[in-house]
Amino acid sequence: MEKTIINAEKRDVIGKKVKVLRREGKLPAVIYGYGVEPTPIVLDFRASSRTLAKAEASTLITIALEGEEYTTLVREKQWDYIRRELLHVDFQAVSMTETIAAQVRLEFVGEPSASGAVIVTNMTEIEIEALPMDLPESLDVDLSVLKNIGDSIYVRDIVVSDKLTILDDLDAMIVAASAPAAEAPVEGDMAELLEGEEEDEDVEEEE
């Protein structure tokens, strides 16, 4: 696995004043966890934002801070959704010799063959426990097993190595091939139905 290193510096600017840092091309962040006290830090926005934007919850990021390196997971990313830019990042330092829980993205592969089915997705990630070095960035879910309407894939169907432990409910449904909902009559069809009902009422009154 290629090591991803991001350089950081401690910061004294906190609260609303961090807007000044952003205008200077800096990205505010915080690091906490194994071997480090909760510490406000700052990153170079241009050098780090592209890497962090793509980082999964199970992606290991090495933070280089004052001559020390900390292996971390990205625990939270705050976004400016209008500008599509990162505003703040939380890093959790982890021990490489202790298991840790992390959310792992589900990658849907294959094509379902259930004719006429609507594919309903209930989960897009599951929680896994493993050593940091063994955390996968994603787990495959093979949709080709959905052959008939009513077929489902559950957490228990996900195949993982013996280095991983699934923490989610094994009976939780991930995805299902459902029957399409009955189509509601369009406005013209509804008028015809009502007209038919009115005609029936007229016939009954004549009788």
Q: What is the pLDDT of residues 103-154, one digit of tens each?
A: 999 999 999 988 888 999 999 999 999 999 999 999 999 999 999 999 999 9
Full-model pTM? 0.78
CATH code given to domain 101-178: 2.170.120.20
The Cα 103–Cα 100 span in angstroms is: 10
- pLDDT at res. 115: 85
The Cα 67–Cα 69 span in angstroms is: 7
Edge-to-edge strand order for the sheet containing 173-178? 118-121, 173-178, 152-154
What confidence tier does 43 reach under pLDDT thresholds 50, 70, 90? very high
Mean pLDDT of the chain: 87
The Cα 39–Cα 31 span in angstroms is: 5
CATH code given to domain 5-94: 2.40.240.10
Averaged pLDDT, 28-32: 95
**Pick from 22-26, 85-89, 98-102, 152-156: least confident:** 22-26
Domain ranges of the chain: 5-94, 101-178
- pLDDT at res. 15: 73
The residues, ordered by sequence, that sit 6+ positions from 85 with a Cβ below 8 Å of its Cβ are: 49, 79
- pLDDT at res. 119: 94
Q: How many CB atoms lie within 10 A of CB 55?
A: 19
Q: How many CB atoms lie within 10 A of CB 73?
A: 23
